[in-house]
Amino acid sequence: MFTPFTTTGIGSLPHTDQEEACRLVLDTFDIPFWPQLPKLSFRESMVAQFSEGLPYIKIDEQKETLWIEKNSSDALTKFYDTYSEDLHIAISENFARGLYAFLRMISNRHFTSLKGQITGPLTFTLGLKDSAKRLIYFDEELREISLMILKAKTRWQIEILKPYAENIIIFIDEPILSALGSTSYMGVNPEEALRLLREISGTIKHAGVVPGIHCCSKADWPLVINSGVKIISFDAYDYIDSIAMYPEEFTGFLKNDGYLAWGIVPTTDSIREENSDSIKRRFDISMEKLSKSVPQSLLQSRILLTPSCGTGSRSVEETVKVFKILVELKKLLKGAS
C-alpha cells in the first residue's frame, strides 16, 4: 500500500496561524495530515480536543484545565438515548481550527493518502479527572462513555476525509502507553487496555480505512501489536532498543502487512544539534541494530518515516527544521537503496 520511506507526521504543530500550519504540512509530507494546534487554543490540546460532547465536561480555558463534574442533570440519559454504533459526532471548528482550515485548503484536491488522528482511549481517560481528582479511567461508566465518544468522533473524521483521498489513515495517539505499569497506573488492567485499543482500531477498520498507533518512548509492544493496528509509529531516535527486544513479534507483524513508522527525527531539544547527515547515520545504526533480529529486507519494505513525535512543544523554526531534515533523509535513503 505504501512505498518504502513514505513520509507522514504526528498531529501537533506549534503554529497559531492555522493556514500557515496547513501549508507547511501540505508542502512537506507524502501523506498530509490535519494539524492540531495547542498553542492556538487549549481546546486543541490532546484531551480537550476530543472532549466535546462528553457528559459533565467542564473546560476552563484561562486556567487551561478540564474535568468531569457530575451533577443531577439528565446528561447521561440524553447521551444514551442518542448513541448508536453508527453514530457520528462532529469535532466542531472551535476545537479543531487546524482541521477545518485543512479541509478548506484541500477542497479542490485529491490525494493518494491522507492521515487523521484521535486521542487514544487510555490517554484520554488517564488524562482526565473528575471533580474529586480521580482519573475517569477508574470510573467504569465514564471510561465506557469516553470510548463511545472517541469511536463516534473517529467515524465522523473518517467520513469527512474520505472524499479527498483513496486511502485514509487514522493514528490512535497513545503516549500514556509508555507509563502503564508504573506506580501511577498500577490499577490499569492490561486486558482492559487491549480491549479499549481494539475497540478503536476495529472502528477504524470497519470504516474501511487503515488504523495506526503512535506511541512515545517505549511501550508494551506485544500489546500494541495485538491491538489490531496496521501501522506502529515509534520513537526510533531514542527507543530502537525497545523494539529490538521483540524480534518474533515484529517480524510477524511486518509479514502480516504491518508497517513501522520510524520516528527518527527528534522533536526534543536534540533537534538543535542534528542535521540530515547526522540523522542518516543514526538511522543506519538503528537499522543495523534492528536487522540483527528482524530481516533487513522486510524492515525496508515496510517502512514509513516520521518525526519522533508531534512538534507542538517546539518553535515554528524548529518544526520547519524537523520537517526539512525528514524530507532530506528520505532523499538520502532512496538514493542509497
- Residues 265 and 263: their CA atoms lie apart, in Å, by 6
Name 308's Cβ contacts closer than 8 Å, sequence gap at least 6.
Answer: 235, 236, 237, 238, 263, 264, 265, 266, 267, 268
- H helices of the chain, in order, are 18-28, 75-82, 97-105, 121-125, 140-161, 190-206, 221-225, 240-244, 247-255, 276-290, 296-301, 316-336
Report the pLDDT value the prediction gives residue 183, as an integer from 0 to 100: 73
CB atoms within 10 A of CB 52: 18
pLDDT at 73: 80
Quote the pLDDT of residue 305: 98
Reading the chain (337 residues) residue by residue, the pLDDT tens digits are 899 999 999 999 999 999 999 999 999 999 999 999 999 999 999 999 999 999 999 999 999 999 999 887 888 888 888 888 888 999 999 999 999 999 999 999 999 999 999 999 999 999 999 989 999 999 999 999 999 999 999 999 999 999 999 999 999 999 999 888 777 787 899 999 999 999 999 999 999 999 999 998 889 999 999 999 999 999 999 999 999 999 999 999 999 999 999 999 999 999 999 999 999 999 999 999 999 999 999 999 999 999 999 999 999 999 999 999 999 999 999 886 5
CB 24 within 8 A of CB 317: no
The answer to whether the predicted template modeling score (pTM) of the entire model surpasses 0.85 is yes
Integer Cα distance of 24 and 147 in angstroms = 32
Residue 336 is predicted with a pLDDT of 66
- Cα 101 to Cα 18, 19, 137, 150, 212: the distances in Å are 6, 6, 33, 22, 23
For residue 74, list its beta bridge partners.
none
CATH of 6-336, one of 3.50.50.60, 3.20.20.210, 3.40.50.980, 3.20.80.10: 3.20.20.210
pLDDT at 215 (0 to 100): 95
Question: Could you tell me which residues are beta bridge partners of residue 33?
Answer: 115
Which residues are bridge partners to 135 per DSSP?
129
Q: Residue 263: helix, strand or coil by DSSP?
A: strand
Cell of 108: 479542490
Domain ranges for the chain: 6-336
